[in-house]
Structure 1
Amino acid sequence: MGRPRLIILIRHGESESNCDKSINRYVPNHKVPLTVRGHEQAAGAGKRLREILLPGENVLIYTSPYRRTRETTQEIVSQLDGVEYRVYEEPRLREQDFGNFQFDEAEMTRIWKERARYGHFFYRIPNGESAADVYDRCAGFNETLFRQFSSDKFAKVLVLVTHGLMTRVFLMKWYRWTVERFESLKNVNYCEFVVMERQENGKYLLQNKMRTWNDPQPDPIITSTTTSPGTDGNSIEEKQNQIRNLYEQVRKEDEQREAPDAVPLVQEIEEHALKEYDMVSSAHFDGSRAFDSDVEDVLDDAGEAAENGICLLKTIRASTATTETRGA
């Protein structure tokens, strides 16, 4: 049997739609590109993959055909100098279909709230898919893999570059998790590695501790999507409270600002973050249930924007102080 030593699932890097949900109203989901930071995350993933390969190991990469996953794959393989690898596009690894172009903000908020009430796994997006539909095509892809494993020439390391929901669905199918367990899981971070390692009995042990909505709150006041596995355990309500505290810090820093030219930029950061926060906090989500990954993304984006505002204000004040010192 040619079962690989490792099966690694990698979510794509940060994309433009992760930063601005309105893009989905006029750009097809499959054409959304990575951000600059997304490219950096993907290159970092390539370096990490290179480091965990054993001498002489070859790699087979299946990638979702979406632009953000293909760009992630390109960045990954750019770091694999001297490594034998093959790349194939696999449409069955694509993101959940959200019904072509998305509706306006109000309608999408209504859909996400309805899905939270109905159940993330079975709710079918209008003109799109449910997670159960994704499960069906994932099952077909798994069967393809098992047939390929019969070849002794199969690669030593299998990498699947895909999406957050597909990663959870793949694990659900592979390990025969229940619907309830699937709905308890939080999304994986951008370019996070989910590693399955073959044991002596031929079965695969999941190396990651998957994050759930019931995890205890960590010490950091907010965790962004680039944190290491296992550190992001905030519930919806906890994140909302943390973000409130962050905005208080932003305002306090803003009051101490001595550079009037920075006002428009600071206000833009605050307004963007507050808009995202208000959209979620006004929805009155039940923190004990499983939520759409977009909700977590919005909270993380809002918290990160607030943190960026704090850093920017501190930098501005430090720069102003340095300028005044030199002038003196």
Structure 2
Amino acid sequence: MARPRRIVLLRHGESEGNIDDTVYEREPDHALSLTTAGLHQAEEAGAELRELFGGERISAYVSPYRRTHQTFQALALAPERVRMREEPRLREQDWGNWQDREDVRLQKAYRDAYGHFFYRFAQGESGADVYDRVGAFLESLWRSFEHPDHPPNVLIVTHGLTMRLFCMRWFHWTVAEFESLSNPGNAEYRVLELGTKGKYTMDRPFEHWCSPESIGFTG
């Protein structure tokens, strides 16, 4: 099994929905674009990642949303060294279709009180649903490692919640641990590095907005 030396998880740059939540009433979530600031964020992340990867090959998986594709393109990775695949299981948590802003704000308040992992949006998914499809993606990812010529780097361009749930599944975090973590910022990334004992460690943790012990349930 040719496990990669590193797995990089990258959140998309700032999108139209990050600065104006009324846009969800007019545009589908998957069709939202990066802002000018978001494009610059992605370009800056690209400069860092190009240095990190050096001249090594990369196997990239990108959420099917427009903003994640735009983020990937802005990284400006050498195309001859990158194998990119669109991966629908890495999409954002589904909130339904076109959204009513006040209804979504009310549901978010309910989610904050109920728990981000278990709360299901009325026409969409719960965090647990996203966890399940991320788990299915991980099974496919592990099978790809069986190829003896697998690239030494994996790049995953996705969304904040999906990043946290990927790490929850990978590191076997409890629900309470997941609930205590904040999303990374736009175009922030985390690097899972393969150690000498065959285990991956994350280069830096997610920020905590509270301690897991303060959550009203256990995993």
Give the alignment's TM-score, normalised by structure 1. Answer: 0.63
Q: Distance in 1 between matches of 2:101 and 2:192?
A: 39
Q: State the Cα distance separating 1:192 from its structure 2 match.
A: 0.7
2:37 aligns with 37
Deviations 1:1-47 (A, max 9, x none): 21111100000000001000010111000000000011111111111
Is 2:116 the partner of 1:90? no
Contact 1:98/1:127 (8 A) holds in 2:
yes
The 2-side partners of 1:214 and 1:132 are apart by 20
- Tell me which amino acid in the other structure corresponds to 1:117: A
Deviation at 1:210, TM superposition (A): 1.5
CA distance in 2, matches of 1:207, 1:17: 29
Extract unaligned runs of 5+ from structure 1.
216-287, 291-328
Could you report, residue by residue, the CA deviation over 1:181-236 in whole angstroms, capped at 9, with x for unpaired residues? 00000010111111100011221011112201138xxxxxxxxxxxxxxxxxxxxx
Instruction: Note if 1:195 corresponds to 2:194.
Output: no
Equivalence for 1:177 = 173
Secondary structure in 1 matching 2:178: helix
Q: CA RMSD in A?
A: 1.6
Structure with more contact order per residue of length (Cα contacts < 8 Å, sep ≥ 6): 2
SS at structure 2 position matched to 1:86: strand
| Higher strand fraction (1 or 2) | 2
Question: In the TM superposition, what are the counterparts of 1:37-186 in structure 2 within 5 Å?
Answer: 37-54=37-54, 56-76=55-75, 78=76, 80-81=77-78, 84-105=81-102, 107-186=103-182
SS state at 2:47 partner: helix
CA distance in 1 between counterparts of 2:156 and 2:93 reads 16
3-state secondary structure, aligned to 2:48: helix
Contact 2:130–2:165 (8 Å) recurs in 1: yes
Aligned twin of 2:3: 3
Which sections of structure 2, spanning at least 5 residues, go unmatched? none
Count, aligned residues: 214
1:239-278 pair list within 5 angstroms:
none
Aligned residues of 2:24 and 2:101 also touching (Cα < 8 A): no
Runs of 4+ residues deviating >3 angstroms: none
**Greater CA deviation, 147-156 or 8-17?**
147-156
SS in 2 for 1:41: helix
- SS at 1:205 equivalent: strand
Q: Quick check: which one's helix share is greater? A: 1
Percent identity, aligned pairs only, is 46
Question: Which residue identity does 1:93 align to in structure 2?
Answer: L
- How much does 1:104 deviate? 2.9
**In structure 1, what is the Cα distance between the partners aligned to 2:39 and 2:101?**
28
Structure-2 separation of matches of 1:157 and 1:29: 29
Q: Is the 8 A contact 1:9 1:159 kept in 2?
A: yes
Structure 1 residues 82, 16: CA separation in 2 closer, same or farther (over 3 Å shift)? closer
TM superposition score normalised by structure 2: 0.93
The one-letter amino acid paired with 2:72 is T
Q: Distance in 1 between matches of 2:20 and 2:215?
A: 25
Q: Are the aligned partners of 2:181 and 2:210 in contact in 1 as well (CA < 8 Å)?
A: no
Q: Which has the larger radius of gyration?
A: 1
Aligned to 1:24: 24
CA distance in 1, matches of 2:78, 2:98: 39
SS at match of 1:187: coil
Contact 2:21 2:101 in 1 (8 A): no
